[in-house]
Structure 1
Amino acid sequence: MARIWFYMIAIGIIGSMVFNNLGELNKVILTEASKGVEFAISLAGVMALWMGIMNIAKDAGLIEKIGQKLNPIMTRLFPSIPKGHKAMSYMVMNIALNMVGAGNGATAFGLKAMEELQTLNPKKDTATNDMIMFLVINISSIQLIPFTMLKIRMDLGSQNPSQIIVTTLFATTVSTIIAIITCKLLQSKRRLR
């Protein structure tokens, strides 16, 4: 990955020198870098809010209750995870944060879930079906409230930033269902071999 970034930067600089746009390149680097920092700081507040809410929910036992409600679905999606295992609560927290659009905040719980799933893995150098399924759900992720996109749309002056909520919910629900079905089909095909 580092090589790819290096080549992209080198090609950009060389291209700017060849086409005599080095001044424009410097201007873009300075303005876009500061915009990136501003955006990261503005998102930090949203992420801190949701991480705090999720930690309070975890301490209050709400995550455990949500996990119990989701248990029939989660046990079908992740059949080899023992009941009450830590991985399941981390996965529920990750999925919940992703659903409210706090994907950056969900990352920490996703990493913890993968660590816990690795403790159940008999082949440490190969991902289990449960690990793959969790990754698929994490990537496709149903978005109830896409906070990050709403923030971007507000920052760019959208008249109605929340206009995308219904279409985003529909698109991410369909993508998640298709991802889960595809993953299950591939897992059953692998078992048959």
Structure 2
Amino acid sequence: MLNVLWSGMILSGILWAAVHGRLDQVTQGALASAKEAVSLCITMLGVMSLWTGILEIGRGAGLIERLSRTMRPVLRFLFPHLSPDSEAARQISINFIANILGLGWAATPAGLKAMEELKKEAEGSGHGGFAGDPVTATTDMCTFLILNISSLQLIPVNMIAYRSQYGSPSPAAITGPCLAATAASTIAAIIFCKIMGRKK
């Protein structure tokens, strides 16, 4: 559906420019946008490499493991049926820590591993039915997905990089509003998950 929408918008834009004799402006705009896209990708690659490297240093120094242990009370509250010593809990902790630091790129692999571990636990508890049957999403899986989408962030690295790239005089000014918005979305997500969990 998105392919149809994007194709329609592109074709309608080209046709509109052709009717009004502005195809040269469309061509110039496309070339300028392509140049900006490459420049932005290089900027984001540098930011990603920096913060992912910091995360790996923290992992190697044992900081991530310590933060994971610190998060155990939070995990017990959010995932009461999940063992805090399980691999799933560890990957969920890494995912949350990376998201809080604004490292969405580093959070994704941990999130996928966490969902795989939750799926294994669901299969072990019989949620998948017979062998080969699809696993029914458990409460823990739904809770993790919703919290991962709400994504509390202390440092919005992506937005700061975008604002810096486009010449903002104060790129980090977005930090406060972003923290407030993501905190509100995370609180709403927790309340929703708890309400739906009780209904189930």
TM-score, normalisation: structure 1: 0.86
CA distance, structure 1, for counterparts of residue 19 and residue 80 of structure 2: 58
1:177 corresponding residue in structure 2: 187
Pairs aligned (count): 190
The unaligned stretches of length 5 or more in structure 2 are 129-133
**For the pair shown, which has the larger CA radius of gyration, 1 or 2?**
2
CA distance, structure 2, for counterparts of residue 183 and residue 15 of structure 1: 47
2:152 corresponding residue in structure 1: 142
The answer to whether 1:161 aligns with 2:162 is no
Distance 1:9 1:110, change over 3 A: farther
Distance 1:29 1:185, change over 3 A: same
Distance 1:18 1:179, change over 3 A: farther
1:143 deviates by 1.4
Aligned-residue Cα RMSD (Å) equals 2.0
Q: What SS does the aligned partner of 1:25 have? A: helix
The superposition leaves residues 168-192 of structure 1 with CA deviations (integer Å, 9 ceiling, x where unpaired) of 2122111110111012212222x1x
- Note if contact 2:72-2:84 (Cα within 8 Å) is conserved in structure 1: no
CA distance, structure 2, for counterparts of residue 49 and residue 94 of structure 1: 18
- After TM superposition, the runs of 4+ consecutive aligned structure 1 residues lying more than 4 A away are none
Q: What SS does the aligned partner of 1:120 have? A: helix
Task: Name the aligned partner's letter for residue 161 of structure 2.
Answer: K
CA distance, structure 2, for counterparts of residue 66 and residue 141 of structure 1: 17
The superposition leaves residues 56-115 of structure 1 with CA deviations (integer Å, 9 ceiling, x where unpaired) of 322332222111111011121112223322222222222112112221332222222222
CA distance, structure 2, for counterparts of residue 82 and residue 8 of structure 1: 49
1:52 deviates by 1.9
* Superposition pairs of residues 56-71 of structure 1, within 5 angstroms: 56-71=57-72
The unaligned stretches of length 5 or more in structure 1 are none
- Note if contact 2:99-2:152 (Cα within 8 Å) is conserved in structure 1: yes
The answer to whether 1:52 aligns with 2:62 is no
1:125 deviates by 4.0
- Note if contact 2:95-2:107 (Cα within 8 Å) is conserved in structure 1: yes
1:36 deviates by 1.4
2:143 corresponding residue in structure 1: 133
Q: What SS does the aligned partner of 2:85 have? A: coil
